[in-house]
Structure 1
Amino acid sequence: MLDEMLRSTQQRAIHTRRRLSNAEARKSSSSRNFNVLHYGARANGITDDSKAFMAAWKAACAAVGAVKLQIPAGTYLIGPTKFAGPCKNVRSLTVNMKGHLKATTDLSKYVTGDDWVEFAWVDMLTLTGGGTFDGQGAASWPYNKCPTNKNCKLLPTSVKFIATSNTVVENIKSLNSKFFHIALVGCKNFWGKNIKITAPSNSPNTDGIHIERSTGVTIYRSVIGTGDDCISIGQGNSQVLLSGISCGPGHGISIGSLGKYQNEEDVRGLVIKDSTLAGTSNGVRIKTWENSPGTSRAVNMTFENIVMKSVANPIVIDQTYCPYSSCASKAPSRVILKDIFFRNIRGTSTTPVAVMLRCSRGVPCKNVNLHNVHLKYVGQAPVAALCMNVRATYSGTQIPPPCK
Structure 2
Amino acid sequence: MLSLALVSGSQAAKGRHAIETVFNVRSFGAKGDGRHDDWQAFQKTWLAVCHHPGKAKMLVPTGVFLLGPVIFQGPCLSRFPIVVQIQGTMLAQSDLSLFVGQEWILFENINGLIVIGGGTLDGQGSAVWKYSDCNANSNCQQMPVGMRFYKVDNGIVRKLSSVNSKGFHLSINNCNNMKLRNIRLIAPADSPNTDGIHIANSNMVLIERSEIGTGDDCIGMIEGAKNVNINNVRCGPGHGISIGSLGKFPDEEDVTGITVNNCTFTATDNGVRIKTIPGCPPSKASGISFTNIVMNGVKNPIIIDQEYNPRGKKQSKPSMVKISDVTFKNIQGTSISQEAINMVCSKAAPCQNIHFENVNLRFTPILGGFKMLDATSTCTNAVGNSFAGIQIPPIACH
TM-score, normalising length: structure 1: 0.92
Aligned twin of 1:362: 348
2:114 is equivalent to residue 114 of structure 1: no
Any runs of at least 4 consecutive aligned residues in structure 1 with deviations exceeding 6 A, and if so which? none
Aligned twin of 1:331: 317
Alignment of structure 1 residues 130-209 onto 2, 5 Å: 130-209=118-197
Please report how far the alpha carbon of residue 28 of structure 1 lies from its aligned counterpart in structure 2 after TM superposition: 3.7
SS in 2 for 1:123: strand
Deviations 1:295-333 (A, max 9, x none): 110000000000000000000000000101x21323100
SS in 2 for 1:211: strand
2:66 is equivalent to residue 91 of structure 1: no
Alignment of structure 1 residues 233-252 onto 2, 5 Å: 233-252=221-240
2:368 is equivalent to residue 384 of structure 1: no
Please report how far the alpha carbon of residue 222 of structure 1 lies from its aligned counterpart in structure 2 after TM superposition: 0.2
Please report how far the alpha carbon of residue 124 of structure 1 lies from its aligned counterpart in structure 2 after TM superposition: 1.1
Please report how far the alpha carbon of residue 66 of structure 1 lies from its aligned counterpart in structure 2 after TM superposition: 1.4
Aligned twin of 1:10: none
How many angstroms apart in 2 are the aligned matches of 1:129 and 1:152?
32
How many angstroms apart in 2 are the aligned matches of 1:78 and 1:256?
32
Query: What is the letter of the counterpart of residue 396 of structure 1?
Result: G
Please report how far the alpha carbon of residue 123 of structure 1 lies from its aligned counterpart in structure 2 after TM superposition: 1.2
Aligned twin of 1:304: 291
Larger radius of gyration: 1
Deviations 1:162-208 (A, max 9, x none): 00000000001010011100000000000000000000000000000
Please report how far the alpha carbon of residue 395 of structure 1 lies from its aligned counterpart in structure 2 after TM superposition: 0.9
- Normalized per residue, which structure has more helix? 1
Give yes or no for contact 2:134–2:142 (8 Å, CA) kept in 1. yes
Give yes or no for contact 1:67–1:90 (8 Å, CA) kept in 2. no
**Residue 90 and residue 34 in structure 1: after superposition, are their counterparts in 2 closer, same or farther (change >3 A)?**
farther
Give yes or no for contact 1:287–1:321 (8 Å, CA) kept in 2. yes
Aligned twin of 2:35: 46
Query: What is the letter of the counterpart of residue 316 of structure 1?
Result: I
Aligned twin of 1:72: 61
Q: What is the number of equivalent residue pairs in this alignment?
A: 377
Give yes or no for contact 1:315–1:355 (8 Å, CA) kept in 2. yes
SS in 1 for 2:103: coil
Give yes or no for contact 1:247–1:278 (8 Å, CA) kept in 2. yes
Give yes or no for contact 1:63–1:90 (8 Å, CA) kept in 2. no
How many angstroms apart in 1 are the aligned matches of 2:21 and 2:53?
7
Please report how far the alpha carbon of residue 31 of structure 1 lies from its aligned counterpart in structure 2 after TM superposition: 8.1
Q: Which moved more, 1:389-398 or 1:268-277?
A: 389-398
Please report how far the alpha carbon of residue 90 of structure 1 lies from its aligned counterpart in structure 2 after TM superposition: 4.2
Give yes or no for contact 2:155–2:178 (8 Å, CA) kept in 1. yes
Please report how far the alpha carbon of residue 372 of structure 1 lies from its aligned counterpart in structure 2 after TM superposition: 0.3
Unaligned runs of 5+ in 1: 1-24
Match of 1:322 among 293, 297, 309: 309
Query: What is the letter of the counterpart of residue 288 of structure 2?
Result: M
**Residue 90 and residue 55 in structure 1: after superposition, are their counterparts in 2 closer, same or farther (change >3 A)?**
farther
**Residue 44 and residue 90 in structure 1: after superposition, are their counterparts in 2 closer, same or farther (change >3 A)?**
farther
Aligned twin of 1:372: 358
Aligned twin of 2:260: 272
SS in 1 for 2:183: strand
SS in 1 for 2:44: helix
Aligned twin of 1:341: 327
Give yes or no for contact 1:65–1:92 (8 Å, CA) kept in 2. no
SS in 2 for 1:51: helix
Aligned twin of 2:388: 395
Give yes or no for contact 2:20–2:55 (8 Å, CA) kept in 1. no
Deviations 1:97-143 (A, max 9, x none): 101000000111011x3310000111110000311111000111011
Give yes or no for contact 1:372–1:398 (8 Å, CA) kept in 2. yes
Unaligned runs of 5+ in 2: 1-8, 14-18, 366-371
Give yes or no for contact 2:20–2:57 (8 Å, CA) kept in 1. no
Query: What is the letter of the counterpart of residue 283 of structure 2?
Result: S
Deviations 1:44-72 (A, max 9, x none): 00000000000000000000121111110
How many angstroms apart in 1 are the aligned matches of 2:209 and 2:11?
38
TM-score, normalising length: structure 2: 0.93
Give yes or no for contact 2:117–2:161 (8 Å, CA) kept in 1. no
SS in 1 for 2:41: helix
Query: What is the letter of the counterpart of residue 368 of structure 1?
Result: I
Please report how far the alpha carbon of residue 280 of structure 1 lies from its aligned counterpart in structure 2 after TM superposition: 0.2
**Residue 360 and residue 322 in structure 1: after superposition, are their counterparts in 2 closer, same or farther (change >3 A)?**
same
Please report how far the alpha carbon of residue 33 of structure 1 lies from its aligned counterpart in structure 2 after TM superposition: 1.5
